[in-house]
Each structure stands twice: as C-alpha cells, then as structure tokens.
C-alpha cells in the first residue's frame, strides 16, 4: 500500500509542475515607465498643517497632589476633604499629554473654574523645568 501512495504522490507532483509551467507560459510580462516626481512639488493641501490648527487637544491642569493609604481612600465619602500638598499662592501646572507646558492661576469666569496662564514653558528655557507628569501605580 505504501508503494501505491508514493506513486499517487509522485503523479500529483508531476501534474502540479505541469500546471505551473502552463500558467507561466500564459503570463505576459510588460515593462512599465513611471513618471518622475519633482522633489519640491506639493500635493494640494496635503503638505499644509492647516488641518491640525482646528484639532482639539486635551490639557490637564494640576492644582495639587496628595498621597493617602488605601484604607483611608476606602473610607472617603461625600463631604470628605483631601488636603493637597501645594500652597494656595503657588501656580497650577498645565500639561499637554504628559509634558508640562505652562503655569497659571485658578480664576472664576462666568461661574466656572478657569486658568489664567502666567508663563509658557519651553524646553530651551533654563529657568523652567519641563517635567513629565508623575504617574503613580
């Protein structure tokens, strides 16, 4: 029985090779010339950053931080007060993603909290430490 199986496998392999060579003889190959693109050529408005100017980006304002034990966290309820580790006269920090980009003060505008920006920080500014927002587990 093993000889019959081998014979069938050899015959199938020969048929597959014949089918491949028939398909290869039917395939036509053509050369194609592509136009050259100019290096300085811009494509419509795709090269423009105007589309980015109308995008909304989330800004996080940090007014303070604190650490408490999990036991205390589980005891919190309505009316609980968490004391933050930042004096009231210190500026708040503004973050774009996880990077600090400005400082400001909290104000009220039309019965809503708001932030008045005092200083825009830049990575090259020696007086400003641009830091990553702390993420604690």
**Structural domain spans, the chain:** 54-120
Per residue in 48-100, pLDDT (tens digit) is: 788 888 899 999 999 999 999 999 999 999 999 999 989 988 999 999 988 99
Percent of the chain with pLDDT over 90: 42
Q: What pLDDT is attached to residue 28?
A: 73
Return the closest-CA partner of residue 93 out of 85, 83, 101.
Answer: 101
Q: What pLDDT is attached to residue 84?
A: 92
Q: What pLDDT is attached to residue 20?
A: 54
Residue 45 confidence class, pLDDT cut points 50, 70, 90: low
The count of other CB atoms within 10 Å of the CB of residue 63 is 14
Distance linking the first and last C-alpha atoms of the chain: 67
pLDDT at 124 exceeding the cut of 80:
no
Distance from chain centroid for Cα 12 = 52
pLDDT at 17 exceeding the cut of 90:
no
* Separation between Cα atoms, residue 74 and residue 108, nearest integer Å: 31
Order the strands of the 99-109 sheet from edge to edge.
59-62, 92-96, 99-109, 112-120
pLDDT at 104 exceeding the cut of 90:
yes
Classify 21 in phi/psi space as left (phi over 0), alpha (psi -120 to 50) or beta: alpha
Coil, strand or helix: which one is 60?
strand
- The average confidence (pLDDT) of the chain is 78
The fold adopted by the segment(s) 54-120 is: Surface presentation of antigens (SPOA) (2.30.330)
């Amino acid at each position: 029985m093993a000889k019959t199986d081998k014979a069938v496998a050899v015959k199938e392999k020969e048929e597959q090779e014949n089918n491949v060579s028939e398909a290869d003889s039917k395939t036509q190959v053509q050369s194609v010339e592509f136009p050259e693109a100019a290096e300085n050529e811009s494509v419509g408005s795709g090269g423009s950053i105007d589309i980015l100017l109308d995008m909304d980006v989330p800004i996080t304002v940090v007014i303070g931080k604190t650490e408490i034990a999990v036991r205390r966290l589980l005891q919190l309820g309505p009316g609980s007060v968490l004391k933050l580790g930042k004096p009231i006269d210190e500026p708040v920090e503004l973050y774009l993603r996880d990077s600090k980009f400005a400082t400001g003060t909290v104000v009220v505008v039309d019965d809503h909290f708001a932030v008045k920006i005092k200083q825009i920080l830049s990575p090259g500014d020696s007086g400003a430490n641009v830091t990553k927002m702390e993420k604690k587990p």
